[in-house]
Amino acid sequence: MEVTLQPVRWNSRFARMAAATAASMLLAALPAAAQGTFITVSSTTSTEQSGLFRHILPEFTKATGIEARVVALGTGQALDMGRRGDADVVFVHDQVAEERFVAEGYGVKRFEVMYNDFVIVGPKADPAKARGKDVLAGLEAIAAARAPFVSRADKSGTHAAELRYWKAAGIDLARDKGPWYRETGSGMGPTLNTASAMNAYALADRGTWLPFRNRGDLEIVVEGDKRLFNQYGVMLVNPARHAHVKKDAGQKFVDWVISPAGQSAIAAYRINDQQLFFPNAKAGS
């Protein structure tokens, strides 16, 4: 076999073509990183997946010229993102954790924005007989029947609420949890997918449940209990902690969501003619 080896010619057409392609791709990737003013909002999967942000953010951008980039996580993670200084604004739903966040000096001030409610979803046949208006009675029935229940177990706002309800119902999960209690350690959507596949009960926020498609045999079995109230709050990450926080643009976002314009944008968001979030910012706060 005759082998012909050529030294590399960097001016060869192939090499030049490859270099040009690489350079133009690098350039093309850049503009996305260098646009006008934007803020990073760490929020929860419920606000993102319900489609609320897609509905209200264009109005915010129109009013202020600021782009809001939302990273959707569980409330615990979203607050941690603020603690690390990776967000300018935190928009979540766990009052206890939010107040701690502000008390620790990571957030400037907490403003209440809106609420919706939690629901317990479960199999239509309701084998545990959990159906009703009383969340604690519902959970007791599920635990007593050892009916499969799927928990977020991800330190999210919904998970924190679930743990509070179990405690209030007098059920000590550390002692009582068995194979019937499944911890997914994941977001609301994946948890609902699991519950749907297992035909199990789960606590969900209504905002994620309403547009959720893969319901299988699940439906709402407990709703309407006052204790299922789910308050959302918004906070600017403290610029005194993280100097790079875009405090003016971030503050504009906070001001806007609690302003009449922001509040009516939230109220106007509906799926299947159902309002998902109810604005309740205190006027003049």
Binding residues for another protein, per CB under 8 A? Answer: 3, 5-8, 12-14, 21-22, 25-26, 28-29, 32-33, 40, 45, 49, 53-54, 69-72, 83-86, 187-190, 192-193, 196, 211-215, 242, 244
Nearer to another protein, 13 or 226 (CB): 13
| Closest CB 109 distance from another protein, rounded Å | 21
Among the listed residues 230, 202, 247, the one whose alpha carbon sits nearest the alpha carbon of residue 95:
230
CB of 208 to another protein, least distance (A): 8
Task: Count CB neighbours of 41 within 10 A.
Answer: 28
Report the phi/psi class of residue 13: left, alpha or beta, with left for phi > 0 and alpha for psi in -120 to 50: alpha
Instruction: Quote the least distance from Cβ 15 to another protein, whole Å.
Output: 9
Q: 112 vs 109, 135, 147, 275, CA distance in Å?
A: 10, 24, 36, 18
Which lies closer to another protein via its Cβ, residue 73 or residue 135?
73
Q: Which is nearer to another protein, 2 or 175 (CB)?
A: 2
Minimum distance of another protein from residue 197's CB (angstroms): 11
Distance, CA of 190 to CA of 159 (rounded, Å): 14
- CB of residue 214 to another protein, shortest distance in Å: 3
Nearer to another protein, 129 or 242 (CB): 242
Is the CB of 8 or the CB of 283 nearer to another protein?
Answer: 8
Q: Report d(CA 165, CA 187) in Å as an integer.
A: 19
**Measured from the CB atom, is 53 or 111 closer to another protein?**
53
Q: Which is nearer to another protein, 213 or 282 (CB)?
A: 213
Question: What are the backbone angles phi and psi of residue 268, rounded to the nearest 5°?
Answer: -80, -10
Distances (CA, A) of 238 to 109, 232, 244: 9, 19, 10
Query: In 3D, which of 211, 210, 230 has the Cα closest to residue 220?
Result: 210
Q: How far is the CB of 102 from another protein (least distance, A)?
A: 19
**64: which 2 tokens?**
């202020």
Two structure tokens written together for 180: 């019937």
Q: What's the min distance (Å) between Cβ of 122 and another protein?
A: 16
Provide the token pair at 46: 């419920």
